[in-house]
Structure 1
Amino acid sequence: MPLLAAAAWLAGLAAQLLSPRPLTGVTVAVLVTAVLVVRRHGHGTTVAAVVLVAVAVGGGAAVRAEQTRTNAVADLAGERAVVTVTGTLVADPRPVEGRFADRVLTRLEVREVTGRGATTRLRTRVLVLGDQPWAEVRLGDTVRASGRLDTADGHDLAAVLVAGDPEVVAGAGPWWRGADAVRRSIREAVDHRPPAQAALVPALVTGDDQLLDTEVEEDFRTTGLTHLLAVSGTNLTLVVGFLLLLARWCGVRGRGTYVVGALGIVGLVLLARTEPSVLRAAVMGSVALLALGVHALQRGFRALGVAVVVLLLVQPGLATSPGFALSVLATAGILVLAPVWRDAMARWLPRWVAEAVAVPLAAQLACTPVVAALSGEVSLVAVAANLVVAPAVGPATVLGLGGGLVGLVSEPAGAVLGTGAGWCVGWIVAVADRGADLPTAAVDWGTGPVALVVLSAGCVLLALLLRRVLVGPTTAVPLALLLAVAVLVRPPTPGWPADDWVLAMCDVGQGDALALRSGPGEAVVVDAGPDPGPVDRCLDDLGVDRVPLVVLTHFHADHVDGLAGVLDGRAVGAVEATTVLDPAGGVADAAAAAAGAGLTVGAASYGGTRRVGDVTLQVLWPRPGTAATGEEGESANDASVVLLAEVGGVRVLLTGDLEPPGQAALARALPGLQVDVLKLPHHGSRYQDLPFLTSLGAQVVLVSAGEDNDYGHPAEEVLDPLSDAGASILRTDEDGDVLVRVTDDGLATRTRE
């Protein structure tokens, strides 16, 4: 079965990654190889099974991709046609933040499309991008809507539909309505708990993660706990295992337990939705249940092979899914490595302790190369974090589900169980928060082929050696202590920061965060980026533990959402911002973060010049009386605080996201302005007043932009004229953190990718 699983997986990969001609060549090569193997070694049945499974999965994937690429909806999408579609929602509507307005995303299985004067019946899926009324539609509802089609990426989508308001023509079936009632009851059972707990319980039980805060998600990612934010095989094992235990208490035996287990699996799938990730989790959880008891390795590994083959036959697209790879690898690691390591540690530790350590260690090691390929990081605290939270995961899952079910009958009783679930996930949130704050919770790792090959080889070598290391305390304990020291003590970065730095641009992704050195161990911080973690890390690396002033240029999330990271563990004197309180959500978030540190957000005073330590600051923009205009959030950029700073004899212009009208107004108000360093407005957007920017005579131009961002920042048509004018361009998406220095030879820079 593992051999058949490998054949199915490789065939699925080939069908989706190769074009038709190479795919045909690979197919012929496989068939020829199979014939040669049978003629020379026999094993005809095995070879025939391998070929059959490979052709079935590869052929199924190729046929589905062709059907999706060439149907009527895809053809109309190529023409960007306006159409009317009728179909069934196959995913819960999800609100997303747009650049100018919030939208709703969902998936629709189209059964009928009318466009270009023709009506066609078919069955294909589209991604729907709609307005707020789509948020009221429920999974399983049949709707009719009109909109414009556009082409889509991905093998499973025929098009993207930018849709008008939907008309519900048929409601969801009773099973979906029942599942919705339980999901709603779970949320209500914990809505009296703190926000992080109220968001995590539904995510843990049913995968309902819409209320999760980005900071919590980042902490879970850093500590290797992301699998708890979605339904996984572990969830299913816990829930179904609990149901089987109840069934045994009630006297159910024999085949009746299989019926209870099957009903539990079906019920959890309905609650968590029949998406590929949930089906994958259900199958992997079933494998874990089958692997219990005697002959666990043989039964489990055979069941894993069957699971992979069945899943790929049903959903060939899973072959290229990172989640599928992580599930298979984690399950295989637990089946193959965990028993060996458990038995080795059981010689000197209690067996339950040995198993508690071996299971997360095996799963994490097996998944490490794939996780590194996706995130560019290797977590050093993942095993310890999973070990520490493990006692709380089971009770949180069972109590959360119980709260939802009991809450259907009695809301107060459901709230009592919800309180217990909240206490349990409170511990998990605390572990993730503290673990992510450790100096070396995760290390950066490249995502290139060489880096991943080296990491994979290292994991294989470690898997082979760990049994010998874990067999006794004389080798295992020093290894654990060495890992603890590596996590708790931040390794020094030679030459960082330079002693002569005056300005730092922090790599915070798609956002801004800069520090002006105002004295030893202190800096004026301008903007905080989109997440607390990166700016906190950057300031730690700079040795900044005192911040006399924080200036938020405007209230967009990519400039203010990281404020908590600036305030965390530092003495902060004041927080100031633009006088234009737009958008309201960003204003509220900044005020809440400041209030958590006992501060309020004041206004940056126009025109005034002041000295903050070694930094001289003057606010050049916005002018008094500037007010928000247009839709919410639209006026925020052009109301950015613009600062002219001088530190160490270096003149710096910090521009926030100032738009061309504001830049032109500055040019008129300050003719002949000259600076040494320019922070390019709006992450290098193509919309700039280039004559003004090039006239500043900056020797260094700083650009803060996220790698592979969707906005096209920074634009080459902006960078080229500045470079031609003699400026040195440094950008966080390519250079990482950037320092501006004052040396005996003049202005200099240093980068750290």
Structure 2
Amino acid sequence: KIKEPTQVLEATVKIIAEPDKKEYYQNLLVEAREDEFLSERSEKLTRILIRAELSKDFEYGEKIKINCQPETVKNSGSEFDYKMYLAKDEIYYLCKKAKIEKTNLIEENLYFYFIKIRKILEEKIDQAIPQPEASLANGILFGGNRLSEEKQDIFSKTGMTHIVAVSGYNVTIIAQYLMLLGIWLGFWRKQAFYFAFLGIIIFLAMIGFPSSAVRAGVMGLLILWAIKNGRLANADNALILAGGVMLLINPLLLRWDIGFQLSFLATLGLIKMGPFWERFLIGKPKLLGLVEIVLMTVSAQIFVLPILIYNFKLLSVVSLLANLAVLPIIPFAMLLSFLTALGGLIFPLLGQIFGYSAYFLLKYVIEAVEWMSGFDWAFLEINNFSVAGVIFWYAGLFWLVKKINTKKDAF
């Protein structure tokens, strides 16, 4: 049972995650001692989510003085269970009105410096590429949806939010990009595995190792390991073990963490559909791995679609078309965006040159998505998709996967 706060919290606390900026405010996640706001003697640290104004800039590791009345998290009466959504991350208290004073003290650690590096790279991209293309570049490189609400809406309607998903649902796809990029750069397959492995670790570090992305990263690395050892078809046991360990540590993930559900199912889709696509691609042109990227993404989307419909009540009719039109561009947009940031660090003009090339690819992505979202039939609202519908979908899907994978002579 969560204890009710009995006194005002007046203390110096540390920000333990990057500020989550909304349209009109920002959320700061801090840790405070329980005896500072509960009527008991306990030096145990507990998490509190503080609402702050957008006018002040805060950063991970910063120490701030706060004065507020904490309250337990409660639901507002809507269908969304905000209480359990925060509970999965061990957040049980809020401060909606807090007086905050900056101390100019920062506790620096390894994560702090990785985040600093990412912010510098983001700034170089912002300097070399105009908006909204710069926001898209930073999103596909570092995760997180930096686009305006209007642009987020069109990406949602076309089923393309996975390329900039905060949850890390697309980490398995990013791992594929990195593996194929390594091969394209001239690495052997084994070397490309280590290249992609290192890339995922650096990616997670630069976004601050949020728990949802770490879980997705584990699954992405699992896929890489299976591909490296030629055991993709038999990787489902390892996936179930990894998922089981995560649920043992935090059982709330199963019901309240959509990111966990999407990451697990996307990875399962890659494992189950992988052998089928491998047979399909025998003797066919690979186009630098772009065909493989599209097919693997389609596999992931087929497996996550019912969860997306159930939670967001939306079905993108143009999703497949949008993915076919956009996904082949993404690896090159990622590479040029990264070279833009790296070039900007070395010599500003070099960043501008790469940024100019990246801009046209990013602009194509945005305009293609905007164009497809403009159709009246681009998406359907589905408000009556029940748990039974989800179960029926997966029962049919696993029957189909089993059938096509037992046909060894297919294609």
**TM-score scaled to structure 2, two decimals?**
0.80
Counting aligned pairs with the same residue, the percent is 22
Q: Distance in 2 between matches of 1:298 and 1:191?
A: 45
Match of 1:323 in 2: 259
User: Quick one: which amino acid aligns to residue 75 of structure 1?
Assistant: E
Q: Cα distance 1:386–1:405, how it changes in 2: closer, same or farther (>3 A)?
A: same
Q: In the alignment, what sits opposite 1:127? A: 49
Which aligned pairs between 1:276-295 and structure 2 lie closer than 5 A? 276-293=211-228, 295=230
- Report SS of the residue matched to 1:164: strand
Q: Which residue of 2 aligns with 1:562?
A: none
Is 2:148 the counterpart of 1:148? no
Per-residue deviation, 1:113? 5.3
Shift, 1:385, TM fit: 1.8
After superposition, where does 1:45-194 map in structure 2 within 5 Å? Answer: 69-70=1-2, 74-76=3-5, 79=6, 81-97=7-23, 102-111=24-33, 114-115=36-37, 120-132=42-54, 135-152=56-73, 153-154=83-84, 155=87, 156-161=90-95, 162-168=97-103, 169-173=105-109, 175-194=111-130
Q: Is the 8 A contact 2:31 2:47 kept in 1?
A: yes
Give distance in 2, aligned partners of 1:341 and 1:138: 44
**Structure 1 residues 105 and 294 mapped into 2: Cα distance closer, same or farther (>3 Å)?**
closer
Asked if 1 retains the 8 angstrom alpha-carbon contact of 2:61 and 2:108, the reply is yes
Provide, for residues 565-590 of structure 1, a one-character-per-residue CA deviation record: whole Å limited to 9, x for no partner.
xxxxxxxxxxxxxxxxxxxxxxxxxx
Task: Evaluate the alpha carbon distance shift between residue 420 and residue 303 of structure 1 in structure 2; reply closer, same or farther with a 3 A threshold.
Answer: farther
* AA at the equivalent of 2:91: L
What SS class does the counterpart of residue 158 from structure 1 fall into?
Answer: strand
- Aligned to 1:172, the other structure's residue is in SS state coil
Alignment partner of 1:160: what SS? strand
Instruction: Summarize deviations over 1:454-482 as a string: whole Å, max 9, x none.
Output: 544554565567789x967xxxxxxxxxx
Q: 1:459-474 to 2 correspondence within 5 Å? A: 459-460=397-398, 463=401
Superposition TM-score, scaled by structure 1 size? 0.46
| Distance (whole Å) between structure 2 residues aligned to residue 424 and residue 204 of structure 1 | 12
Matched, 1:417 2:354: yes
Map 1:477-626; keep pairs closer than 5 Å.
Answer: none
Is it true that 1:304 corresponds to 2:232 in the alignment?
no
When residues 261 and 248 of structure 1 are mapped into structure 2, their CA distance, relative to the original with a 3 A threshold, is: same
Change (3 A) 1:454 1:247: closer
Residue 392 of structure 1 deviates from its aligned partner by 1.4
Query: What secondary structure sits across from 2:227 in the alignment?
Result: coil
CA drift at 1:329: 1.0
For the Cα contact (< 8 Å) 2:233–2:272, is it kept in 1?
Answer: no
Which aligned pairs between 1:369-380 and structure 2 lie closer than 5 A? 369-380=306-317
Q: Give the 3-state SS of the residue equivalent to 1:136 in structure 2.
A: coil
How has the CA–CA distance of structure 1 residues 204 and 354 changed in structure 2, closer, same or farther, with 3 Å as cutoff?
Answer: closer
1:217-242 Cα shifts (integer Å, max 9, x gaps): 11111221111112431224434664
- Cα shift at 1:107: 1.3
Post-superposition offset of 1:436:
1.5
Cα distance between partner residues in 2 of 1:225 and 1:464: 28
**How far does residue 393 in structure 1 lie from its aligned partner after superposition?**
1.2
CA contact (8 A) 2:49 2:91 kept: yes
Work out whether residues 85 and 145 of structure 1, in 8 Å CA contact, stay in contact via their aligned partners in 2. Answer: yes
Could you tell me whether the CA contact under 8 Å between 1:183 and 1:404 is conserved in 2? no
Residue 687 of structure 1 aligns with which residue?
A: none
Code of the aligned partner of 1:443: L
Judged with a 3 Å threshold, the aligned counterparts in structure 2 of structure 1 residues 414 and 333 are, in CA distance, closer, same or farther, namely same
Letter in 1 for 2:318: V
Q: Distance in 2 between matches of 1:116 and 1:235?
A: 44
Does the C-alpha gap of structure 1 residues 131 and 277 become closer, same or farther in structure 2, counting only changes over 3 Å? same
SS in 1 for 2:46: strand
Equivalent residue number for residue 177 of structure 2 = 238
Supply the distance in 1 between the matched residues of 2:14 and 2:221 (Cα, whole angstroms). 29
Output the CA distance in 2 between the equivalents of 1:258 and 1:294: 10
SS in structure 2 opposite 1:75? coil
**Displacement of 1:344:** 4.3
Q: 1:367 matched to which residue of 2? A: 304
Contact 2:50–2:94 (Cα < 8 Å) also in 1:
yes
Q: Which amino acid aligns with 1:124?
A: T
1:436 to 1:458, Cα distance in 2 relative to 1, 3 A: farther
Q: CA deviation at 1:309?
A: 3.4
User: Alignment partner for residue 336 of structure 1, among 272, 295, 320?
Assistant: 272
| Separation in structure 2 between the aligned mates of residue 329 and residue 89 of structure 1, nearest angstrom | 32
8 Å CA contact 2:37–2:70 kept in 1: the answer is no
Alignment length (residue pairs): 386
- Quote the Cα distance in structure 1 between the aligned partners of 2:334 and 2:291: 24
Q: 1:424 to 1:291 in 2, by over 3 A?
A: farther
1:442 aligns with 2:364: no
Question: In the superposition, relative to structure 1, how do residues 303 and 399 fare at CA in structure 2: closer, same or farther (>3 Å)?
Answer: farther
**After superposition, what is the alpha-carbon deviation per residue over 1:710-729, rounded to whole angstroms, capped at 9, x for unaligned?**
xxxxxxxxxxxxxxxxxxxx
Structure having greater relative contact order (Cα 8 Å, sep ≥ 6): 2
- Name the structure 1 match of 2:203: 268
Q: How far, CA to CA, are the matches of 2:182 and 2:294 in structure 1?
A: 26
Q: Name the SS for the 1:91 alignment partner.
A: coil
Instruction: Look up the equivalent residue of 1:449 and give its one-letter code.
Output: V
Alpha-carbon offset, residue 201 of structure 1: 1.0
In 1, distance between residues paired with 2:123 and 2:362?
Answer: 14
TM-superposed deviation, 1:293? 4.2
Aligned to 2:159: 224
Deviations 1:584-633 (Å, cap 9, x if unpaired)?
Answer: xxxxxxxxxxxxxxxxxxxxxxxxxxxxxxxxxxxxxxxxxxxxxxxxxx
| Separation in structure 1 between the aligned mates of residue 286 and residue 332 of structure 2, nearest angstrom | 22
- What amino acid is aligned across from residue 225 of structure 1 in structure 2? M
CA-CA distance at 1:379 after TM superposition: 2.3
Change (3 A) 1:459 1:216: farther
Structure 1, 430-439 or 238-247: larger mean CA deviation: 238-247
Is residue 136–residue 362 contact of structure 2 (8 Å, CA) maintained in 1?
Answer: yes
- Which whole-Å CA distance do the structure 1 matches of 2:149 and 2:338 have between them? 24
Give CA-to-partner distance per residue, 1:422-442, whole Å, 9 cap, x none.
Answer: 322222212211221234222
RMSD: 3.4
Cα separation, partners in 2 of 1:209 and 1:358, compared to 1, 3 Å: closer
| Deviation at residue 149 of structure 1 after TM alignment | 0.6
Corresponding residue for 1:389? 326
- 8 Å Cα contact 1:182-1:408 kept in structure 2: no
Give 5+ residue unaligned stretches, structure 2: 74-82
In structure 1, the partner of 2:141 is 205
Q: Deviations over 1:250-308 (max 9, x none)?
A: xxx98x88776554333211212211222123212212211224533245334423432
Amino acid at match of 2:201: V
- Distance across 2 between alignment mates of 1:354 and 1:236: 16
Residue 373 of structure 1 and its aligned partner are, at CA, apart by 0.4
The AA in structure 2 aligned to 1:238 is Y
Residue 83 of structure 1 deviates from its aligned partner by 0.9
Specify the code of the residue in structure 1 equivalent to 2:64. Answer: V
Give yes or no for contact 1:85–1:113 (8 Å, CA) kept in 2: no
The amino acid that maps onto 1:148 is Q
